Structure 1
Amino acid sequence: MDSITQALLGAALQGSLLGRIQGRRALVYGAVLATVPDLDVFVHYADPVSQMTYHRGFSHSLFVLTALGLALSTLVTALARWRWPDHGYRWPRLMLTFWLVLVTHPLLDAFTVYGTQLLWPLQVTPQSWAGVFIIDPLYSVPLLLTVVYAGVRGVGEGARRWLAAALVFSTLYLGCGIAGRLVSEQRFAAALDAQGIAHSHVRAVPMAFNTLLWRVMAKTPDGHYYEGVSSLLDTAPPEMQRQALHLDAAQPLAGVPLHERLRWFTGDWLRYDIIGDALVVSDLRMGMPSDYNFRFLMARRDAQGQWQPVQPSRWPGNSARAMFDRQMLGLLWQRIFDQRPPLPLAAWQVQSLGKDAALQR
């Protein structure tokens, strides 16, 4: 999730658990501590694939953060016995508070689609539960309102109850997001089955700023995938289109370490496109239909026509800007409540391919 939401979650947790002792300072301490796992953004990597796949790694490990919570609570307990013996600090409550503030950060991140390495250093596929969009006002605003209320009125018993209520609501909301994802995946699979289309690996991800509208994908045995849009309010099958993964184009990257790491990180949700003399690899999980956030140039064709792997670089795209495009957001909002007219998926695909064609010139 976004850093502001992570800070709000930490403030609400520490305020509800230690507000009686620390007062308003608990909100500040919790907000600061909750942002610690994201300090890995200051680690510089040589290429964008490494930057993407090592982010949310060691600093988001439940093992590392548990050890940090243990060390921090032990240190604060010792300091409190010396400086504030009458404040009521106790190690079990400190440990519980610091541990929750720290580990809820990567757990919340795991509810997005990006991928979070909760079990680092174990080399398991990063957790990507895709229950909420990376920015979701319905999740964040209740936390914001209660933290502001506690900051203005003080962290008394009433404020602590409101903070706890916001935490319960936010947790239930995450559960609703997972349920919405499962419903969307089942509907999409049923629509493919009704057309006699063989498929596997159905994957739904929430679209911008809500958990009612979902982008859903399904791979087929012949190396293609279907991509469509489904609202939880739909009464008819979702609109969808068939696209190629172009798996044969991936041959020049066979055995290349960064390519293998990208496959591992994304669960192999990758598409390959030859654009002029460039081989572009796209992470299908994030972005708008047919226009994805993470695209990488990973090989080039040399003068002899042979493909040569290169150090990856970002391939330009407009998906991130499209998320804040007023016209597109308007269409998405309308699509939540009404399937007619359907979203112009084919036109968006042509627009994306046209943009890439222009870059070749």
Structure 2
Amino acid sequence: MDSVTQIALGASIAGAVAGPRLGRSALAIGAALGTLPDMDVLIDYGSAVANFTQHRGFSHSLFVLAPLAIILAWALWRWKPQLSLGRWLTLTGLVLLTHPLLDSFTTYGTQIFWPFGPPVAISSIFIIDPAYTLPLLAGCLFFLIRPPARTAVTMGLLLSTLYLGWTVAAKQIVTERVTPALADAGLEQPSLLVQPMPFNTILWRATAITDTEQVEIVTGFLDGDRPLNLEYFARDPALAESVAELPETRRLEWFTNGFLSYQRRDQQVTATDIRLGLPGAHPFTFILAEGRGEQLAPVISTRTPRPSVKPEMLSLLWSRLTGEAPTLCLASLSIPAPEQTCS
């Protein structure tokens, strides 16, 4: 999740655990601990792919954060002994461990079991979701105005947790909605990713991939019985095979669970993470190799500039979310005219 959310979550937990004893300083301590795992963004691992796939790695591992919580609890107890060592351990443990657990509900991929196993990406909540964050911020605001406001921060935590549970249920409902449509289109067992569209859990995006094609569906809870619109994008298995043995390609395939699109741009071969962003506005594209024809040479990966997003994108999303617009074409990031379909 975004930094504001992680700060608010950490502050809320600290306020609930230690607010009556520490007052407003509990929020500051919780906020600092809540953002600590994300300090790994300051590390340069040597290439764009390494930086991308190592983020949310060791610093988000439960096997690293659990012992770190013990060390920090002891240090904080020595600093502020008015809180018992057991209470400090409850605070540090809950704040540090909930950070990666919350991140694992997003699509990016969180290595909570590092160095064992693949990243975890439940993909039920967008990286920024006001419906999750606002109850936490409200509880913290009440605490700042009238500390310790333990009931307020506890209610904020309860509401945000219930909302997180709703996201998992909503994803299952959408998955059951799109699966028959994909089967009717001849995709009975594709690799399938279902995730919410930006900033909400009312409108969802389903991405199905095979070796040769990518199919996108946008559907929402306000669509009623409207038929699903399937949008098709070609995939190039030969190009994917040409770079399949490169170490950075294998790393990307592992991290994204195969949700990559390979393109040739002039003399460069690129791989795009199609899980994040939207077609035409995917933020993570990496240059993996250079050369003409089949004479490709691996390069130290670099990331291409992030594509610009149309200023009217928020209004388009709102129109589609509310059901005012029956279709959103992802290829052009536009709403087709009545009686028209996505080309």
TM (norm. structure 1) is 0.87
Correspondence for 2:115: 121
Which ranges of structure 2 fall in alignment gaps of 5 or more residues?
A: 335-343
Aligned counterparts, 1:1-361, within 5 A: 1-80=1-80, 84=81, 87=82, 89-122=83-116, 124-155=117-148, 159-220=149-210, 222-234=211-223, 235-302=225-292, 306-318=295-307, 321-322=308-309, 325-338=310-323, 340-348=325-333
Counterpart amino acid of residue 335 in structure 1: R
Cα displacement (A) at 1:327: 1.4
Cα displacement (A) at 1:193: 2.2
Deviations along 1:303-342, one digit per CA (max 9) or x if unpaired, are x761212111112342xx42xx441211111111216441
Q: Contact conserved, 2:231 with 2:329, CA < 8 A, in 1?
A: no
Q: Contact conserved, 2:248 with 2:288, CA < 8 A, in 1?
A: no
Structure 1 residues 40-49 or 195-204, which shifts more?
195-204
Q: Contact conserved, 2:286 with 2:301, CA < 8 A, in 1?
A: yes
Cα displacement (A) at 1:75: 3.1
Distance change >3 Å, CA 348–CA 24, structure 1 → 2: closer
Cα displacement (A) at 1:194: 3.1
Cα displacement (A) at 1:79: 4.9
Separation (CA, whole Å) in 2 of partners of 1:66 and 1:346: 44
Cα displacement (A) at 1:233: 2.1
CA RMSD across the alignment: 1.8
Counterpart amino acid of residue 58 in structure 2: F
Cα displacement (A) at 1:281: 0.5
Separation (CA, whole Å) in 1 of partners of 2:85 and 2:226: 56
Structure 1 residues 138-147 or 288-297, which shifts more?
288-297
Report % sequence identity.
39
Larger helix proportion of the pair: 1
Deviations along 1:141-163, one digit per CA (max 9) or x if unpaired, are 111111011012111xxx10110
Alignment coverage as a number of residue pairs: 333
Separation (CA, whole Å) in 1 of partners of 2:185 and 2:111: 37
Separation (CA, whole Å) in 2 of partners of 1:329 and 1:79: 47
Cα displacement (A) at 1:290: 4.2
Separation (CA, whole Å) in 2 of partners of 1:348 and 1:166: 35
Q: Contact conserved, 1:278 with 1:300, CA < 8 A, in 2?
A: yes
Cα displacement (A) at 1:215: 1.4
Distance change >3 Å, CA 18–CA 313, structure 1 → 2: same
Cα displacement (A) at 1:196: 4.0
Separation (CA, whole Å) in 1 of partners of 2:90 and 2:274: 38
Q: Contact conserved, 1:230 with 1:238, CA < 8 A, in 2?
A: yes
* SS of alignment partner, residue 332 of structure 2: helix
Q: Contact conserved, 1:252 with 1:309, CA < 8 A, in 2?
A: no
Correspondence for 1:358: none
Counterpart amino acid of residue 251 in structure 1: E
Q: Contact conserved, 1:293 with 1:317, CA < 8 A, in 2?
A: yes
Which ranges of structure 1 fall in alignment gaps of 5 or more residues?
A: 350-361
Counterpart amino acid of residue 283 in structure 2: N
Q: Contact conserved, 2:242 with 2:294, CA < 8 A, in 1?
A: no
Counterpart amino acid of residue 150 in structure 1: F
Structure 1 residues 173-182 or 13-22, which shifts more?
173-182
Q: Contact conserved, 2:280 with 2:332, CA < 8 A, in 1?
A: no
Q: Contact conserved, 2:272 with 2:284, CA < 8 A, in 1?
A: yes
Cα displacement (A) at 1:40: 0.7
Q: Contact conserved, 1:188 with 1:237, CA < 8 A, in 2?
A: no
Distance change >3 Å, CA 36–CA 317, structure 1 → 2: closer
TM (norm. structure 2) is 0.92
Deviations along 1:34-53, one digit per CA (max 9) or x if unpaired, are 11101111111221111100
Separation (CA, whole Å) in 2 of partners of 1:337 and 1:217: 21
Q: Contact conserved, 2:105 with 2:125, CA < 8 A, in 1?
A: yes
* SS of alignment partner, residue 157 of structure 2: helix
Deviations along 1:181-207, one digit per CA (max 9) or x if unpaired, are 222222111112234443422211211
